[in-house]
């Protein structure tokens, strides 16, 4: 079915060419990083994880969110999601590959990456992260491809796929839980040491991921003959709404615990992010943007009138996605590292090569997503 | 006692030799591995730092210089990317959970010596995905630089900021090197290793040896008769962030 | 076969490209390297070391660093201090004349010397700028970046004396 990706309009090829250019630039920057070391990034002794790990964390959420269309269809027989599951699975494939790429570029000794397999260490959360991410990738490749192939042949997906589909549902929750556990079990990082980390990760994932999927489907609807259907869009937007509200609620819980308890260690990272601390306010504007965006999106999504209007819905999805991306990507990371264990502040600012590498990886993800979606749409158009 | 220990170790090494892959056994009869004779050993190494003695000589940096020279620790000019195994910082940063707005004479801005705490329950070891950092039987939290993939999970996990990462090749920033010890390469994490390489030769850690004021007391915490055990019983000491349950092996004598 | 007029030449071109190094070096005799060996016996016989030194070194490094086993008793009962800088290179005084001779010939690049210091080293060089690093304007020597720039206010991790605690 891959040949379906080789026939497209001028716009399709221009888009792929644009992504290819970004990938090439990012790859060159990565080669420079291999030569020079991670010193080309803005990370430091005090803020030892940065943009790469932030993107990784956010994208695990996007990957997990594919389950939000798979679950209603397979467990609740919600028929309108039938045609969409493939898109959820393909989105997950692209997102997991981006996750893996972000890990690869974040490792200081890239050639030794496979030491994780040579010396498996079950007490490390990264060990489980490796298992669940690669497993999730495999599951989505199997399920997505089998379902699409069934559609191509005009049959239902084969029966042997069913166990994999059911397995992929809890598996999706596991990938983001394990990713939250990377952070939530570290002593002395107050911002991360919270039991609602995993639930909040899931909540923010299940709003931002489907928001991206919804936007992608709206584009698909515009550029192709495939129509996801108004009912499916409605349900998806309701899922986004509930997840976003859960995310806001869980963040409010964090605020309460930190400020009512009045424990400095718990308050400082939040104060640093939203107000600035010791004269440092690098991320204040970003954090307020993030939460204003999410709150506006929440209002637009809660009001039925604006949720059902395709323009306001798309707008809400865009700002929601940006908000969640800032909050969970960069906010989560810098908040965990600031203040430092010495209660001092070392500002972190990503560098240009660091951003170019990140953009290159995002472009890779979008390229994979475009190609997979193109295949799926062409198959669906042929059936229609 | 020593004899018994030797026999025990001989037994262990025989067992280790038994596990040698067969290709090595082809010409071998007596091949074996043993710990070095004359090494300093302990059940749990620890260090007490007599801050009162230390504060009498505020200009003294002998321990830091000795350590960094012995271990080829580079001097990275950009502070954000610096590498340090042992260093000084002020009270407010070392014990951030001990604010006391009325105690502004005794400890205010007083420097403390910082190094890896060689915790009994090290979070860095818990999170390492390759066992590149691991805890030895004698309590030393060790680094196997050959194995580190540079994921920096240990740096996120360490509540004491004891770990440094080689953001670039460190060699251009080493002025005079110690030919007996390796450098590190870019992309690996490093920290104080309690001078395992000196203990093997029967020597005390470089910082302890370099301190002419005898402010650093190094010894076996689980040996009741060791100097460090006696001092810890007699004098008031504090540990960094004890509430986190990592049980540091570095004690600050402040009373 | 479909498209055999394209497939067969394609296969031939592919095979030629893959075997290109063989044709290029065909007929050129290259003499085997002669590393300079110190007098006396190594920890094991010359033949054993030639065939197995890499495995032995790997085993050494695991046992010495991870198990504290610093002493190696060889097959003839002699005892040796395990170490690259403090063991091997105490006899093999020169990496270039010993290690590199065969490694260069066989085009293997073990990364031992990224950390371990060859005995002939006098000083470490400075960081080198490559075209790629220049392309992304990466400051190669951190000493230059460390000089305070005008208009850049504090930060950079220095102790925040004024902080509230």
For every residue of C98-130, DSSP letters joined together read THHHHHHHHT---THHHHSPPTT-----PPPP-
User: Is A331 in contact with A273 (CB distance < 8 Å)?
Assistant: yes
Question: How many other C-beta atoms lie within 10 A of the C-beta of residue C124?
Answer: 18
- B11-43 pLDDT tens trace: 555 555 555 555 554 544 568 999 999 999 999
Q: pLDDT-based confidence at B104, cuts 50/70/90?
A: low
Q: Is the pLDDT of residue B2 over 80?
A: no
- B133 vs A91, B40, B119, B191, C58, CA distance in Å? 37, 21, 12, 10, 18
Distance from the A117 Cα atom to the nearest Cα atom in chain B, whole angstroms: 8
User: Is B163 in contact with B155 (CB distance < 8 Å)?
Assistant: yes
Q: Please list the pLDDT of chain A residue by residue as tens digits (384 residues).
A: 777 778 888 899 999 999 999 999 999 999 999 999 999 999 999 999 999 999 999 999 999 988 888 888 888 888 888 888 889 999 999 999 999 999 999 999 999 999 999 999 999 999 999 999 999 999 999 998 888 888 888 877 788 888 999 999 999 999 999 999 999 999 989 999 999 999 999 999 999 999 999 999 999 888 888 888 889 999 999 999 999 999 999 999 999 999 999 998 899 999 999 999 988 988 999 999 999 999 999 999 999 999 999 999 999 999 999 999 999 988 999 999 989 999 999 999 999 999 999 999 999 999 999 999 999 988 888 876
For every residue of A260-276, DSSP letters joined together read HHT-HHHHHHHHHHHT-
Q: pLDDT-based confidence at B148, cuts 50/70/90?
A: very high
Task: Please check whether residue B111 touches A, CB under 8 A.
Answer: no
Distance from chain centroid for Cα C52? 18
Task: Please check whether residue C157 touches A, CB under 8 A.
Answer: yes
Q: What's the rounded Cα separation, in Å, for the pair B78 and C147? A: 9
Burial of A370 (0-12, 13-18, 19+ CB in 10 A): buried
Question: How many other C-beta atoms lie within 10 A of the C-beta of residue A54?
Answer: 23
Task: Please check whether residue B183 touches A, CB under 8 A.
Answer: no
- B187-236 pLDDT tens trace: 999 999 999 999 999 999 999 999 999 999 999 999 999 999 999 999 99
- Helix or strand (DSSP H, E) at C10: helix C4-18
Higher pLDDT, B194 or C1: B194
The residue extents of the domains of chain C are 46-115
CA angle (A276, A281, A287) in 5-degree steps: 85
Q: What's the rounded Cα separation, in Å, for the pair A380 and A35? A: 46
- C136-164 pLDDT tens trace: 888 888 776 555 444 434 333 344 333 33
Burial of B4 (0-12, 13-18, 19+ CB in 10 A): exposed
User: Is A80 in contact with A231 (CB distance < 8 Å)?
Assistant: yes
What CATH topology corresponds to A2-383?
Formate dehydrogenase/DMSO reductase fold (1.20.1630)
Probe site for chain B from A48, A111, A268 (most B CB atoms < 10 A): A48
Closest-CA residue of C relative to A357 is C136
Subunit contact A49:B160, Cβ cutoff 8 A: no
SS3 state of residue B111: strand
- C4-39 pLDDT tens trace: 888 999 999 999 999 988 888 777 777 888 888 888
- The first and second tokens of residue A181, run together, are 């556990």
Q: What pTM value is reported for the model?
A: 0.89
Neighbours of chain A (3+ CB pairs under 8 A): B, C
Q: What's the rounded Cα separation, in Å, for the pair C24 and C21? A: 5
> Which residue among B16, B90, B169 places its CB closest to the CB of C67?
B16
> Which residue among C136, C140, C155 places its CB closest to the CB of A29?
C136
- Helix or strand (DSSP H, E) at C131: helix C131-135
For every residue of B182-219, DSSP letters joined together read ----TT-EE---TTHHHHTTT---HHHHH-TT--EEEE
Closest by alpha carbon to A243, among A207, A282, A189?
A207
Per CATH, the architecture of B45-253 is what? 2-Layer Sandwich (3.30)
Tell me whether strands B189-190 and B164-165 are parallel, antiparallel or unpaired: antiparallel
Q: What's the rounded Cα separation, in Å, for the pair A373 and A92? A: 12
Tell me whether strands B250-253 and B45-50 are parallel, antiparallel or unpaired: parallel
Which runs of consecutive H residues, i.e. helices, occur in A67-196? 67-76, 85-106, 115-118, 125-153, 161-184
Looking at every residue in chain B, the average pLDDT score rounds to 89
The residue extents of the domains of chain A are 2-383
Q: What is the pLDDT of residue A137?
A: 95
Closest-CA residue of A relative to C161 is A344
Q: What's the rounded Cα separation, in Å, for the pair B17 and B14? A: 5
Question: How many other C-beta atoms lie within 10 A of the C-beta of residue C47?
Answer: 9
CA angle (A307, A308, A313) in 5-degree steps: 50
Signed CA dihedral, C109, C110, C116, C118: sign only:
negative
Closest-CA residue of C relative to B37 is C71
> Which residue among C157, C163, C165 places its CB closest to the CB of A44?
C157
Distance from the B179 Cα atom to the nearest Cα atom in chain C, whole angstroms: 7
B/C interface, count of CB pairs below 8 Å: 124
Alpha carbons within 13 angstroms on the beta-carbon side of residue B82 total 17
Task: Please check whether residue B182 touches A, CB under 8 A.
Answer: no
- Contact list, C123 vs chain B (CB under 8 Å): 177
């Amino acid at each position: 079915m891959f040949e379906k990706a080789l026939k497209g309009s001028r716009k399709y090829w221009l888009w792929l060419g644009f992504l290819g250019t970004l990938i090439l630039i990012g790859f060159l920057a990565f080669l420079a990083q291999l030569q020079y070391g991670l010193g080309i990034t803005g990370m430091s002794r005090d803020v030892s994880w940065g943009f790469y790990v932030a993107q990784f964390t956010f994208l695990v959420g996007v990957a997990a969110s594919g389950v939000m269309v798979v679950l209603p269809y397979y467990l609740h027989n919600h028929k309108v999601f039938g045609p969409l599951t493939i898109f959820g699975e393909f989105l997950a494939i692209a997102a997991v590959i981006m996750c893996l790429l972000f890990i690869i570029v974040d490792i200081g000794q890239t050639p030794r990456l496979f030491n994780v397999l040579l010396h498996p260490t079950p007490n490390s959360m990264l060990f489980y992260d490796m298992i669940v991410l690669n497993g999730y990738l495999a599951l989505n490749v199997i399920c997505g491809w089998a379902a699409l192939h069934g559609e191509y042949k005009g049959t239902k997906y084969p029966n042997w796929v069913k166990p994999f589909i059911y397995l992929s549902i809890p598996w999706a929750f596991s990938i983001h839980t394990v990713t939250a556990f990377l952070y939530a079990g570290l002593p002395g990082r107050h911002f991360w040491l919270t039991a609602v980390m995993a639930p909040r990760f899931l909540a923010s994932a299940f709003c931002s991921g489907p928001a991206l999927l919804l936007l992608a489907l709206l584009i698909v609807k515009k550029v192709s003959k495939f129509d996801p259907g108004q009912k499916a869009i409605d349900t998806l937007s309701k899922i986004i709404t509930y997840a976003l509200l859960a995310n806001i609620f869980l963040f409010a819980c964090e605020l309460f615990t930190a400020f009512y308890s009045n424990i400095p260690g718990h308050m400082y990272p939040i104060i640093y992010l939203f107000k600035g601390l010791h004269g440092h306010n690098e991320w204040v504007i970003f954090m307020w943007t993030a939460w204003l965006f999410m709150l506006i999106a929440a209002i637009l999504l809660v009001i039925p009138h604006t949720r059902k209007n395709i323009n306001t819905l798309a707008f809400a999805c865009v700002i929601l996605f940006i908000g969640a991306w800032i909050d969970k990507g960069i906010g989560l990371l810098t908040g965990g590292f600031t203040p430092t264990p010495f209660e001092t502040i070392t500002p972190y600012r990503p560098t240009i090569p660091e951003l170019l590498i990140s953009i290159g990886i995002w472009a890779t993800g979008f390229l994979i997503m475009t190609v997979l979606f193109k295949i799926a749409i062409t198959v669906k158009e042929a059936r229609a | 006692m020593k004899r018994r220990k030797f026999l025990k170790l001989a037994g262990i090494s025989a067992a280790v030799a038994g596990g040698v892959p067969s290709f090595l056994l082809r010409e071998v009869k007596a091949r074996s591995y043993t710990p070095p004779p004359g090494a300093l050993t302990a059940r749990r190494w620890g260090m007490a730092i007599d801050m009162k003695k230390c504060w009498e000589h505020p200009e003294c940096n002998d321990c830091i210089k000795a350590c960094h020279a012995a271990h080829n620790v580079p001097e990275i000019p950009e502070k954000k990317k610096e590498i340090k195994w042992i260093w000084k910082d002020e009270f407010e940063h070392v014990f951030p959970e001990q604010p006391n707005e009325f105690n502004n004479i005794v400890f205010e801005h007083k420097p403390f010596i910082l190094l890896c705490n060689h915790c009994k329950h090290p979070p860095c070891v818990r999170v390492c995905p390759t066992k590149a950092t691991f805890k030895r039987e004698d309590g030393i939290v060790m680094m196997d630089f050959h194995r580190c993939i540079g994921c920096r999970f240990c740096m996120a996990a360490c509540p004491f900021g004891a770990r440094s990462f080689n953001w670039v090749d460190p060699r251009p920033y080493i002025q005079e090197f110690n030919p007996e010890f390796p450098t590190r390469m870019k992309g690996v994490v490093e920290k104080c290793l309690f001078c395992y390489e000196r203990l093997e030769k029967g020597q005390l850690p470089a910082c302890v040896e370099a301190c002419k004021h005898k402010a650093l007391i190094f010894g076996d915490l689980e040996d009741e008769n060791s100097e460090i055990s006696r001092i810890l019983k007699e004098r008031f000491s504090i540990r960094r962030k004890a509430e986190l349950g990592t049980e540091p092996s570095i004690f600050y004598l402040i009373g | 076969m479909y498209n055999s007029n394209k497939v067969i030449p394609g296969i031939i071109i592919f095979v030629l490209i893959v075997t290109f190094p063989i044709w290029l070096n065909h007929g050129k005799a290259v003499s085997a390297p002669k590393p300079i060996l110190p007098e006396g016996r190594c920890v094991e016989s010359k033949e054993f070391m030639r065939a197995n030194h890499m495995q032995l070194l790997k085993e050494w490094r695991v046992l010495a660093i991870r198990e504290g086993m610093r002493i190696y008793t060889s097959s003839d009962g002699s005892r040796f201090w395990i170490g690259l800088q403090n063991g091997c290179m105490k006899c093999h005084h020169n990496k270039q004349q010993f290690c590199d001779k065969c490694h260069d010939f066989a085009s293997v690049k073990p990364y031992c010397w990224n950390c371990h210091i060859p005995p002939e080293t006098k000083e470490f060089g400075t960081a080198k700028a490559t075209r790629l690093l220049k392309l992304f304007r990466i400051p190669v020597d951190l000493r230059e970046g460390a000089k305070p720039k005008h208009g850049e206010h504090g930060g950079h991790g220095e102790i925040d004396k004024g902080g509230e605690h």
